[in-house]
Amino acid sequence: MVDNSLSPHGGILVEKTAFLSAPSEIENLQSLTPIPVRDQLAHECVNIAYGFFSPLDGFMGAKDLHSVAKNMTLDSGYIWSIPIVFDIPQRELDDLDLSVGQTVLLMYQNYPLATMEVTEIFEYDLHSLAIDIYGTDDSAHPGVQRTLNFGDRFLSGPISLINEPQINPPFDEFWLTPRQLRRKMDELGWNTTVAHQSRNVPHSGHEWLMKGAWLASESDGILVSAVIGEKKPGDYIDEAIVLAHDRLRKSGFFKESIHQTSALLWDMRYAGPREAVFHAIVRKNLGCTHHMFGRDHAGVGSYYDTYAAHQIFDDLPDLGIKSVLTLEWWYCPVCAGVAYEGLCGHENQKQELSGTFIRSIIQGGVEPAALTLRPEVLEVVRQCADEYGFGDPFVGAEYLANRTPVMSMHALDCTSPCTCTCTEQYS
Catalytic residues, by residue number, are 199-200
Exposure letters 43-68 (e unless 16+ CB within 10 A, then b): bbbbbbbbbbbbbbbbbbbbebbbbb
Q: Are 133 and 261 in contact (CB under 8 A)?
A: no
**Cα–Cα distance between 185 and 121 in angstroms, integer?**
40
User: Which residues are 263's β-sheet partners?
Assistant: 226
Compute the Cα dihedral for 354, 358, 359, 361 and give only its sign: positive
Which DSSP helix (H) or strand (E) runs through 423? helix 422-425
End-to-end CA distance of the chain: 49
Q: Measure CA 154 to chain center.
A: 22
Tell me whether residue 125 is exposed, middle or buried, using C-beta atoms within 10 angstroms of its C-beta: 0 to 12, 13 to 18, 19 or more: exposed
The b-or-e profile of 295-311 (16+ CB within 10 A means b, else e) is bbbbbbeebbeebbbbe
Which among 252, 198, 253 is positioned nearest to 227, based on CA atoms? Answer: 198
- Rounded to an integer, what distance in angstroms lies between the CA atom of residue 87 and that of residue 208? 41
Amino acid letter for position 68: V
Give yes or no for a cis peptide into 317 (omega within 30° of 0): no
